[in-house]
Amino acid sequence: MSRLNPEHERYLAEHPFFAGLNTKDIAWLADLARPLELAAGEYLYHEGDPSSEFYVMREGLIRLEAHTPGRGFLIIQTLEAGEVLGWSWMMPEVRKTFDARVLKAAHLLAFEAEAVRRRCEQDHHLGYELCKRFSRVIGDRLQATRFRLLDLYGQPH
Amino acid sequence: MVSPISSPPRTDPMLPRPFRVARVRRETADVATLELEALDGLPLNFAPGQFTMLYAFGVGEAPVSISGDAEKPERLVHTIRSVGRVTQALCGLRKGETVGVRGPFGSGWPLERARGGDVVMVAGGIGLPPLRPVIYHLLHHRKEYGRVYLLYGARTPDDLLFPEELKRWQHTLSLAPGSSPVLVTVDRAPESWDGAVGVVTGLIPGLRLDPAHTTAMMVGPEVMMRFTVTGLLERGLKAPDLYLSMERNMKCAVGFCGHCQLGPHFVCKDGPVFALPQLNGWLGRKEV
């Protein structure tokens, strides 16, 4: 496969999330990747939006939040450079459950969900590899949530 | 492995020395910092990581890590969270009042071993004060160490300790302009907070380290330290380079009473700072 986007390809090849994928798949993902730059205050997506993309953050700080009348914006968590977000791309029927607001100017790579799903249906090996990686993302988020539910810092060690 | 500190207390280790409270600083709603001066004028030399037994007269004793600068021993500094009767009395002390001090006790952080490499400090909640003497040491000897990171997790922005120093350290701990050695995250925050929200272990993947030449020092709830160990090992750090400050029910501080036994160790005497291999099989064991 020709190297259509060598800069994206180099970045993805060095990113721990994509480590172990074969060069053909990395090149395909690099070609699919759409650079996205957002200024502080802009939204990457809103609650209720379709899960049409997933993202790799190259720079910036993004906050997942939910708005509640009378209480304003409740912060769920923040995501930083290097993180992957938008795991719900795997399920086309799922919609975004939180807003994603940019706190510090963000530079991301966006991957069109439908194209990735189509490719995964044709290439189950790639599909399995991506499922493993996104399962890790989901597991880490779940673990972090449980950790925070314990309210560890509120107790004496 | 951690070696015992070679400067034992000069007097009977069970006999408190009287210190005068020279300054009290209210850090948060339930945390205060006491700056103490010995009534006999003799400074209390200590190594970063060591603790003392602070005696609130008429109430009791509690082990408290030293949070001051080891190169300024004439002012003995402790940062205390009010969690029980003794610590509540200590936090309630006022300038000019007297407190008893035994120590210093225990092992220190591996500052010599870390020299020449990168350093990662991970603190959770009230775990930052025991690491502050390390930060002062690194600042005094900054060129002798590589990249330095302080990862600090707290419950809310209002619970962050030493906020002004955290801002200063962002610059003074940095080796290169633009780097961010101080990474702070909180569990919960109001909308006005513009920093990170999440667990402190979530900061580990973003660190730029030389894993083969990095020493990690961590203090916080044991669950946090267990996850931190996992995160650092996944980044390629080696178990002998991971150091944890353990807390147990320390009473005598010299290994007589056995209250703080952790497997084959007495935390007061053999710790509180342990290299991870010393805790092999004991970290996270429910029976101890």
pLDDT tens, position by position, A37-53: 999 999 999 999 999 99
- Which of B125, B193, B227 is the closest to A153 by Cβ? B125
Asked if the Cβ–Cβ distance from A80 to B206 is below 8 Å, we say yes
- In this prediction, residue A73 carries a pLDDT of 87
Residue B36: φ, ψ to 5°: -120, 145
* Contact residues on chain B for A140, CB-CB shorter than 8 A: 202
Name the pTM for this structure: 0.89
- In this prediction, residue B285 carries a pLDDT of 74
**How far apart are alpha carbons A88 and A31 in whole angstroms?**
21
**How far apart are alpha carbons B100 and B63 in whole angstroms?**
12
- Which of A16, A73, A80 is the closest to B191 by Cβ? A73
Asked if the Cβ–Cβ distance from B193 to A82 is below 8 Å, we say no
Which candidate in A98, A99, A143, A157 is best for mutational testing of the B interface (most B CBs within 10 A)? Answer: A157
Q: Is B195 on the interface with A (CB under 8 A)?
A: yes
H or E element in which residue B223 lies? helix B222-234
- Give the range among A21-30, A122-131, B120-129, B277-286 with minimum mean pLDDT: B277-286
- In this prediction, residue B236 carries a pLDDT of 94
- In this prediction, residue B205 carries a pLDDT of 87
- pLDDT tens for chain B, 288 residues long, are 555 554 545 568 889 999 999 999 999 999 999 999 999 999 999 999 999 999 999 999 999 999 999 999 999 999 999 999 999 999 999 999 999 999 899 999 999 999 999 999 999 999 999 999 999 999 999 999 999 999 999 999 999 999 999 999 999 999 877 678 999 999 999 989 999 999 999 999 889 889 999 999 999 998 899 999 999 999 999 999 999 998 777 777 777 787 878 888 888 888 899 999 998 877 777 766
Spatial CA neighbour of B77 closest among B89, B67, B88: B67
Residue A80 reports pLDDT greater than 80: yes
* Residue entry with tokens 């000069």: B10
* Contact residues on chain B for A102, CB-CB shorter than 8 A: none
Which candidate in A71, A101, A152, A155 is best for mutational testing of the B interface (most B CBs within 10 A)? Answer: A152
Q: Partners of A153 in the beta sheet?
A: none
Write out the two tokens for B25: 């600083």
The one-letter amino acid at A143: Q
Measured in whole angstroms, the distance separating CA B184 from the mean position of its chain's CA atoms is 16
- Torsion, Cα A16 A22 A24 A25, to 10 degrees, reads -50
Q: What is the mean pLDDT of residues A137-145?
A: 91
**How far apart are alpha carbons A25 and A9 in whole angstroms?**
10
SS3 assignment, position A41: coil
- In this prediction, residue B14 carries a pLDDT of 85
Q: What is the mean pLDDT of residues A41-70?
A: 94
* Per-residue pLDDT band at A156 (split at 50, 70, 90): low
Spatial CA neighbour of B273 closest among B156, B151, B130: B130
Q: Partners of B19 in the beta sheet?
A: B38, B99
- Contact indicator for B30, B82 with CB cutoff of 8 Å: yes
SS3 string of B105-164? Answer: ECCCCCHHHHCCCEEEEEEEHHHHHHHHHHHHHHHHCHHHCCCEEEEEEECCHHHCCCHH
Percent of chain A having pLDDT more than 90?
A: 78
Q: What is the mean pLDDT of residues A133-140?
A: 94
Cα torsion B69, B26, B63, B1: sign? negative
Spatial CA neighbour of B5 closest among B199, B270, B246: B270
Instruction: Provide residues of A within 8 Å CB-CB of chain B.
Output: 16, 61, 63, 65, 72-73, 75-78, 80-83, 103, 140, 143-144, 147-148, 150-157
H or E element in which residue B133 lies? helix B128-140
**What is the value of ipTM here, to two decimals?**
0.85
